[in-house]
A and B are shown apart, each in its own frame.
Chain A
Amino acid sequence: MAANSESEANFLEQLISSRNRDISFFLPFLFGLSSNSSPSQQEGHNPNPEEQTGGRNQERIILINPFTQGMIVIEGGGSGGRGFEDFLREISEKQGLAPATKASIDGMPKVVITEEMKRDLECSICLDGFEIGTEAREMPCKHKYHGDCIEKWLGIHGNCPVCRFEMPVNEDDQGMKRNTNSGGEIWVTLSVTRRNPSSSTNSDNPSS
């Protein structure tokens, strides 16, 4: 059951974070509830949203999946005082392309900077120029950066900062990244109820 709930939570989280746009698609099935103030679903259209959220230190979010009749309750333990929207935003922000594979980062050629190259070349990450005789790293799209700068970026998102050329990425990394991002802040409990009038009253645990 624990494994089930985790995978279901991951599925939903993935659904939410797979694309920004998908949030609005999924919103009809999301319900925000707070423990000590009246819920305000409509994007902050009460006169004083700051005041309302000010007193909260525990935010509870209930997700209902109509396809599986599953329900997930998320307690925002680490997000004291912040709203339901912030939670959604936080999830949607923590995406983007997965890191590039180590092999592809290591495989980028090193280019020695010549006087001619130096003239109008600057590293688009730190906005600094290059010194003649030093080495720059060149991506397959031919854009050049300081080694430290581009290695750090590709370790976060595997694309070229200038043209968004995509490096090979490790798909597993993407999943792992999500887990570590969300793991510290929220905990998830899941209860599944099947509407089956003929079954006994113990309908909480259909599978185990």
Chain B
Amino acid sequence: MVDCARIQKELVDCNKDKGISGISVTLDGDEFTHLTGTITGPVGTPYEGGIFQIDIQMPGEYPFEPPKMRFLTKVWHPNISSQNGAICLDILKDQWSPALTLKTALLSLQALLSAPEPGDPQDAVVAQQYLRDYPTFAGTARYWTETFAKRSSMGIEEKVQKLVEMGFPDVLVRKTLEIVGGDENMALEKLCTG
């Protein structure tokens, strides 16, 4: 039987500071057995700007057994399967401890994005590329982040830059983009008319 009280507590605790941590967890349906985690890609890595979703299955013996986690968002990383999102991370396996939580586990995933361990790979092809040809690896990882982990195809900064290059003042561009919800075409229209 899943410890609902603990999971409930964890949900509240994790979502309390999601603005700062970039980590949140939501229930999938009413059951406490299936959740979805979200982490932001760490700054200064090829995953920067990406939002990654993680499927979380809670075993009946949780917290005495680790939660089963898998990336739903496609990601190019030596320790994450590029095919099915399976994760190679010791704390999700034999190094699990009941003092760990969904939040600390997701934080560890975020740390894993920052510091891949190609010596203990989940995806042999990615790991090989990481070791032999890092620039290509970083390029692919960045491309995958752009393609699969971003809500809109273009980052907000790029949109700002594009509109500023057209001759609109930076502050006004940002404000307008905010008003139209980030849609660059609508922002351009608004800037031209008003």
List residues of A whose CB falls within 8 A of some B CB.
20-21, 24, 42-45, 49-50, 85, 89, 92-93, 95-96, 124-128, 149, 152-153, 156, 159, 161-162, 164
Contact = CB atoms under 8 A, between A and B. Distances in A.
Nearest to A94: B94
A127 B13 CA distance: 11
B99 A124 contact: yes
Contacts of A128: 5-6
Nearest to B123: A43
Contacts of A152: 64
Nearest to A159: B97
Contact of B64 (A93, A156, A159): A156
A56 to B, nearest CB: 15
A161 B101 CA distance: 11
Given A44-B83, A93-B93, 14 more contacts: A20-B120, A24-B120, A42-B125, A43-B122, A43-B125, A44-B84, A93-B94, A96-B95, A125-B63, A126-B3, A126-B5, A126-B63, A161-B97, A164-B97
B124 A43 contact: yes
Contacts of B94: 20, 92-93, 95-96
B10 interface: yes
21 contacts: A20-B90, A24-B120, A42-B124, A42-B125, A43-B124, A43-B125, A44-B81, A49-B83, A50-B84, A89-B86, A92-B94, A93-B94, A95-B94, A96-B96, A124-B98, A126-B63, A127-B6, A128-B6, A149-B98, A161-B97, A164-B97
Contacts of B5: 126, 128
Contacts of B63: 125-126
B121 interface: yes
A138 to B, nearest CB: 15
Given A20-B90, A20-B120, A125 B98 contact: yes
B3 A20 contact: no
A95 B122 CA distance: 18
A24 B121 contact: yes
Contacts of B120: 20-21, 24
